[in-house]
Structure 1
Amino acid sequence: MKRIITGGLLAVALFCGGASAEDAAWTPETFTLDNGMQVVVVPDHRAPVVTHMVWYKVGAVDEEPGKSGLAHLFEHVMFKETKNLGPEEFTTIVQRNGGQLNAFTSWDYTAYFERVAKPQLKTMMELEAERMRNLKINDDPKGPFISERDVVKEERRQRIDNDPGSILQEQVLSELWKGHPYEITVIGKMDEVAKLTPADGMAFYHKYYSPENAILVVAGDVTTDEVRTLAEETYGQIEPTGTVDGTRKWAPVPLLTENKLLVHSDPKVRQPSWSRYYSGLSESRERRESYALDVGLAVLGGGMTSRLYQALVEDEQIAIDVSTAAWTTLHDEGPAVISASPVDGVSLDELDTAVMAEVRKVLAEGFTDAEVERARNSLAARAIYGRDSQSNMANTFGSTLALGGTIDDILDYPDTIKSITTEEALAAVRTVFGEDRHYIEAELIPAEGDQ
């Protein structure tokens, strides 16, 4: 989820005749092909459309030292050329058939998707099966690997190196995850990306891009029998490489051991901002405690009705915004963050003092049952409403299973989140933001003389 995957999503009648989203479109079935590929089918018969996703259980966390950015670069290369498809032909075929396509890479997984009319589902499976086994990688400077390596370098310049906020966040996360495989951002370090070779790409492909390391999710106007027949005809013909041993480089993230201040100034910054990053929780490792943290953060800083917003924006009027959030949907522990931006005339030091004073006050006083109930219901409702989105269904099942979760984890979420008690929500927030917890403070400011 952050979900990213990020992840979140509801419960209300959404279909005519009294049928609900839960009844009509949230009843997944799963099976496994003989070659080890897991298949999840999520029927949704409201329109003759399907979302077809292939999730590979590999991401930036699995990269070898010195080869950061390889998982993301490889995502780019997968769109280029195969033994039986010419350059860019994959994309052309999907678009010519009226479809939409894209892909994304996380620390924990890589996913590829197409959204098409139902009659085109077999074609999508054939295309994905082709690039699962016949991808072309060579030393040609204009070929698929080297040309996309240059594209990724430019993407890093635009998304990270030219964005002051992204530069600062990269520095913070590097400190928060120091020594952990999450330490380097998914897009990789510029110098390491530049050194990646076609041989690196081919080794990565053979090791991880195999059916037993993949999850197929099909959501839409299909039945399990239809998907099984097509999957066996396409993916089922691919022999597993035998190189996937199921191990990942996941590891618990140690708590921070000291406080640090990171400041980044840039002429492009017009509005200063302040944040504190604490060691947080992970749904994969501590599911209920992570849910409790989400509920507690919703009360503390989750929107304009939250305690912090009401106190610092509405009442004291020293901030133009303030919020709390946690990266709970990675496999390993991500940060829990308090962020704010000051009104004109208020320094970041003054803002820091005011925000943390209010945090301490709220955590000392505690939450009311009514506040926690509203937060729980909002999170549960968001989850159920997400079931009305075919692409969201495919994303939710794929990301959860790729992280080692289960279908029941998804189906049970609304009831589980509504069972979180006031005491649990408060305890989670008190623990994460406790006085004994260290943090990284991040300040984004205009370059000197530009304020």
Structure 2
Amino acid sequence: MKQILTGGLAALALSALPAFAEEAWKPTTFNLDNGMQVVVVPDHRAPVVTHMVWYKVGAVDEQPGKSGIAHLFEHVMFQQTDTLAPGEFDKIVSRNGGQSNAFTSWDYTAYFERVAKEQLGTMMGLEADRMVNLVINDDPEGPFISERDVVKEERRQRIDNNPGVILQEQVLSKLWAGHPYEITVIGKMEEVAALTPEDGLNFYHEYYSPENAILVVAGDVTPEEVRALAEEHYGKIQPTGTAHGERKWQSVPLLTQTETIVYRDPKVRQPVWSRYYNGTSETREPRESLALDVGLEILGGGMTSRLYQSVVEQQQLAIDASSYAWTTLHDEGPALITASPAPGVSMDDLEAAVMAEVSKVLEEGFTDEEVVRARNKLAASAIYSRDSQSTQANNFGSTLALGGTIEDVLSYPDRMKSITTEEAIAAVRKVFAPDRHYIEAQLLPPVAETGTDAAE
């Protein structure tokens, strides 16, 4: 259950971090001779470890016409190597009482296992094996082509069968038009279907190399133990020399016109209204990003926020209302205002009520009390996330994969607590300024009179 801390309780939390967490939160980092970066986060509360390998490659790095290959490759990595039969990787992890999974973003790909500490060496051996010995061939039933079919089906189920995701894909393709983020991580169906084993081999050789990887181990270990195991399993891997580190990141240009996208579908039971504005990113604008997070927390961060209290509780025009921003991508993500109308409320009336509250905030600003409460809540949430071993590993891995540092993670709560009232409202006023263009998105059921489910 998510714990929400407000006011004095949040302030108390910031100064009352448990002693075990303070001790655990002392990461050590070093590099192997082959260029692989290693981060060790000791946590001795239980004899378990989270082992993660992050590759500095994601959907942003894909070649034109090859969308989805980074995500497809994540699937292929679990199949077959020169020494492991198809599916044996997962079986070994399971037999050892562990859990394994992976995920792909626009900015990185990560693989992880959570096991008893005595199995850490086994996990390193498995990851090192598939870093160099992956089988990719043109067998129709082989690891690449079979997983390509799996990904196609995944797209059908997760995107093509989900009206809300279809609409979001349409909006983001316009918000990020011309940027490498433009195409969703899972890729376009026709481009995924056209990916070849040769594409897979080229991608593997270019990006899956120790100098392009970050190893993060959090748990009941010491830096000395991890160094010895990492040298044994990863240290002997020779770098390919092709992992050039030249990412395709670029600043996202501001929208040049305001658009409305309406998507109707019979599966829609609850209409949703949203506005997408150009936001920012913590990587590119660290302080402004934190200030925007604080401002959006006050505006629409929960049931006590300005928006929720106004349009849900007081006016009863919506069943939900919120605001948030995608600030954790390397390049600028969207800042959103979104709400769902109460029964019988039109989209026009909902929009008018929501934007009236936003305009009021832009004009009047925030109180010091609101800012203190919001920034303390966000800082406390970051501190208490240190209680989770997997979250620790994720925080360090994702930050380093984006080009950040260990200190960026460690200093986050203090930096968040230093955001001023003036900075918070300035960030919100900049993003939602009257001259800023946006994309309005409306998710609706079919028109009752015609029964159509066509997008407008």
* Unaligned ranges ≥5, structure 1: 1-9
The structural deviation recorded for 1:40 is 0.1
- For 1:227, the aligned partner's letter is V
Equivalent in the alignment of 1:342 = 341
Equivalent in the alignment of 1:162 = 161
Contact 1:55–1:112 (8 Å) recurs in 2: yes
What are the Cα deviations for residues 61-94 of structure 1, in whole angstroms up to 9, with x where unaligned? 0000000000000000000000011110111000
- For 1:109, the aligned partner's letter is Y
Equivalent in the alignment of 2:282 = 283
**2:37 matches 1:38:** yes
- For 2:214, the aligned partner's letter is I
Normalising by structure 1, report the TM-score: 0.96
Distance 1:245 1:204 in 2: 12
Equivalent in the alignment of 2:4 = none
Distance 1:357 1:391 in 2: 41
SS for the counterpart of 1:275 is: strand
Equivalent in the alignment of 2:8 = none
What are the Cα deviations for residues 311-350 of structure 1, in whole angstroms up to 9, with x where unaligned? 1111111111100010000000000000001111111111
Equivalent in the alignment of 2:185 = 186
**Shift in CA distance, 48/12, structure 1 to aligned 2, threshold 3 Å:** farther
**Shift in CA distance, 212/277, structure 1 to aligned 2, threshold 3 Å:** same
Normalising by structure 2, report the TM-score: 0.95
Superposed, 1:222-241 pairs within 5 Å as 222-241=221-240
Contact 2:82–2:134 (8 Å) recurs in 1: yes
The structural deviation recorded for 1:11 is 4.0
Distance 1:14 1:309 in 2: 31
SS for the counterpart of 1:236 is: coil
The structural deviation recorded for 1:13 is 4.9
Contact 2:17–2:383 (8 Å) recurs in 1: no
Distance 2:221 2:20 in 1: 18
Q: Which runs of 4+ in 1 moved over 3 A?
A: 10-15
Contact 1:11–1:385 (8 Å) recurs in 2: no
Equivalent in the alignment of 1:5 = none
Superposed, 1:11-410 pairs within 5 Å as 11=14, 13=16, 15=18, 19-21=19-21, 23-410=22-409
SS for the counterpart of 1:237 is: coil
Contact 2:56–2:212 (8 Å) recurs in 1: yes
Contact 1:37–1:216 (8 Å) recurs in 2: yes
SS for the counterpart of 2:374 is: helix
What are the Cα deviations for residues 6-52 of structure 1, in whole angstroms up to 9, with x where unaligned? xxxx746565xxx241x221100000000000000000000000000
SS for the counterpart of 1:283 is: coil
SS for the counterpart of 1:102 is: strand
The structural deviation recorded for 1:53 is 0.0
Superposed, 1:412-427 pairs within 5 Å as 412-427=411-426
Distance 2:276 2:269 in 1: 22
- For 2:393, the aligned partner's letter is A
Distance 2:89 2:265 in 1: 41
- For 1:351, the aligned partner's letter is L
SS for the counterpart of 2:182 is: coil
What are the Cα deviations for residues 282-323 of structure 1, in whole angstroms up to 9, with x where unaligned? 000000000000000000010010011111111111111100
- For 2:211, the aligned partner's letter is E
Distance 1:370 1:363 in 2: 17
SS for the counterpart of 1:113 is: strand
- For 1:229, the aligned partner's letter is A
| Equivalent residues, number | 438
SS for the counterpart of 2:180 is: coil
- For 1:330, the aligned partner's letter is L
Distance 1:418 1:340 in 2: 29
Contact 1:298–1:324 (8 Å) recurs in 2: yes
- For 1:159, the aligned partner's letter is R
- For 1:161, the aligned partner's letter is D
The structural deviation recorded for 1:397 is 0.2
**Shift in CA distance, 13/20, structure 1 to aligned 2, threshold 3 Å:** farther
Contact 1:101–1:113 (8 Å) recurs in 2: yes
SS for the counterpart of 2:181 is: coil
- For 1:66, the aligned partner's letter is G
The structural deviation recorded for 1:231 is 0.2
Equivalent in the alignment of 1:7 = none
Distance 1:25 1:286 in 2: 29
Distance 1:60 1:294 in 2: 25
Distance 1:353 1:314 in 2: 16
What are the Cα deviations for residues 108-141 of structure 1, in whole angstroms up to 9, with x where unaligned? 0000000000000000000000000000000000
Contact 1:12–1:385 (8 Å) recurs in 2: no
- For 1:423, the aligned partner's letter is E
Contact 1:76–1:148 (8 Å) recurs in 2: yes
Contact 2:106–2:181 (8 Å) recurs in 1: yes
